[in-house]
Amino acid sequence: MTSTAKRVPIPKNGVDYRGRIVLAPMVRSGECPSRLLALEYGADLVWGPETIDKALIGTARHINPVTNTVDFTRLSSNGAKNPAINPDQRESIIYRLHPEKEGKKLIYQIGTSNPETAVQAAKLIAPDVAGIDVNAGCPKPFSTSGGMGAALLKKPDLLCSILRALVKEVGEPNEIGISVKVRILDTAEATEALVRQLCDTGITGLTVHCRTTPMRPRERAIRDQLRMIADICREAGVACLMNGDVTSRDEALGLITEFGVDGAMIATAAETNPSVFKPKDEGGEAPWHEVVKEYVKTAMEVENRFGNTKYLLGQMIPGKLPAYKSMMTAKSYRDIVKALGHDAELGESASDVDKRLEIGAFEKPKMTKAERKAANKAAAKQAEAAEEKQSEEVQEQPSAAGVKRSAETAGLDMPPDVAREQAPASMPERASVLSV
């Protein structure tokens, strides 16, 4: 391969994956505060967690003035049968990103098995991210059971149709790149055929997880197909990233040279300690307690869901330490900072966040199952009574033939221009305005 190898053009609003050490997409471990901390410690790009297309479709985009984030939300399905009984019901955050701190370095990974829904979802978020990546490698049942993730490796034609649709209908209009993440197949020949097919769809990047679909993270990554994949991508001008058993920036740089790939992803190691993105000559990996403090501060700044924050801390704090046991019993951010010994510095901020999230000392009383059932019945009766009343009122209204209209009602004295403004096709002033 020569230095003048072909390169797929990088769109104006996209990013080149070459020479980048990036945070891998991880469900639960790739939410907003994890990504921001990875960038703070030196990650070049960050992938968000796989988000299924149908989960994003139908969401509303909001700019959060408190956290300075962009939130894609929908009303929680919990209690949706009768939302009238809970008018203050919170919206669920389906996806949250920080445009200033990560927007130009964030890749949205989509879970999909259909070109149409993939495009519909990707169009919603494309203006806020630097690229869209299709998950064709996740082996977990929640993904494969819907024909997504690694299940797409068995349907390469469908996978290619999804990529082509995203390139044409999302990537080109928004001037961002479309990429795909796959696993190796059982034979080098099968992998080669798949990669060649994928590189012909117009994608700008391809990431290969060096494990087969049945393999789990505890099994050592297989890299004997990696150089071949990198060569095929280079011939097509597509950037190639590797994933699997990469534990630090320095190791990643060595593997890039050894196998001829363009970049590398770090997953599990970054979940435990995101400072692995720092090179050794800049201090390398930081102590866990330092990283944990920064993570908690970042999580509070973006008001991360408490359950997710607690899950990540469970990965970051060594399990045998007293701080771990104290953290596991915490029910609020105030409890967390106390458990970690930062109450004097962060306690007030933690209480403010708890209040806005309504957790800990600020948690509102929850309905019991019996109370919720009774409220549902009452709401149903109330709605039924309202419908009956409305029906009676309609029946009691006199017909048009029996009503003597005034000149004003008939519009006889209205100037023609006023009559036009109030024509049947116009919207009355009192009509509601829908926000999209």
Q: What tens digit of pLDDT does each residue of 374-406 get?
A: 777 777 787 777 777 777 766 665 544 444 444
pLDDT per position as a tens digit, 26-84: 999 999 999 999 999 999 999 999 999 999 999 999 999 999 999 999 986 554 445 44
pLDDT given at position 394:
63
**Contact assessment for residue 308 and residue 336, using Cβ atoms and an 8 Å cutoff:** no
Are 264 and 314 in the same domain?
A: no
- Please report whether residue 72 resides in a domain: yes
Together in a domain, 302 and 321: yes
In a domain, 357, yes or no: yes
Is 260 in the same domain as 299?
Answer: no
1 confidence band (pLDDT: 50, 70, 90) = very low
pLDDT at 234: 97
The number of distinct structural domains making up the chain is: 2
pTM: 0.82
Q: Are residues 212 and 276 in the same domain?
A: yes
Last residue of a domain, one of 262, 285, 308: 285
Please tell me whether residues 220 and 309 are part of one structural domain.
no
Instruction: Determine, yes or no, domain membership for 391.
Output: no
Q: What mean pLDDT is reported for the chain? A: 87
Could you tell me if residue 364 is inside a domain?
yes
Same domain for 293 and 279? Answer: no
How far apart, in whole angstroms, are the C-alpha atoms of residue 167 and residue 134?
11
Domain end marker among 230, 253, 285: 285
Tens of pLDDT, residue by residue over 205-242, are 999 999 999 998 889 999 999 999 999 999 999 999 99
Instruction: Give the per-residue pLDDT at 75.
Output: 83
For residue 142, the model assigns a pLDDT of 84
Q: Is residue 405 part of a domain?
A: no
Q: Is the pLDDT of residue 431 over 60?
A: no
Q: Active-site positions?
A: 138
**Domain contains 436:** no
Average pLDDT over residues 309-328: 95
Task: Please tell me the predicted confidence (pLDDT) of residue 396.
Answer: 61
- Does residue 302 share a domain with residue 165? no
Q: Are residues 132 and 229 in the same domain?
A: yes
* Average pLDDT rounded to a whole number, residues 311-322: 95
Place of tokens 């469970």: 314
Query: Among 346, 361, 386, where does a domain finish?
Result: 386
Q: 227 and 334 in one domain?
A: no
Is 300 found in the same domain as 224? no
Within this chain, do residues 221 and 246 fall inside the same structural domain, yes or no?
Answer: yes
Interior CA angle at 395 toward 391 and 400, to 5°?
A: 135
With respect to residue 255, please indicate whether it lies within any of the assigned structural domains.
yes
Does a structural domain hold residue 375?
A: yes
Same domain, 262 and 380: no
CATH of the domain at 201: 3.20.20.70
Its domain, for residue 356, covers 288-386
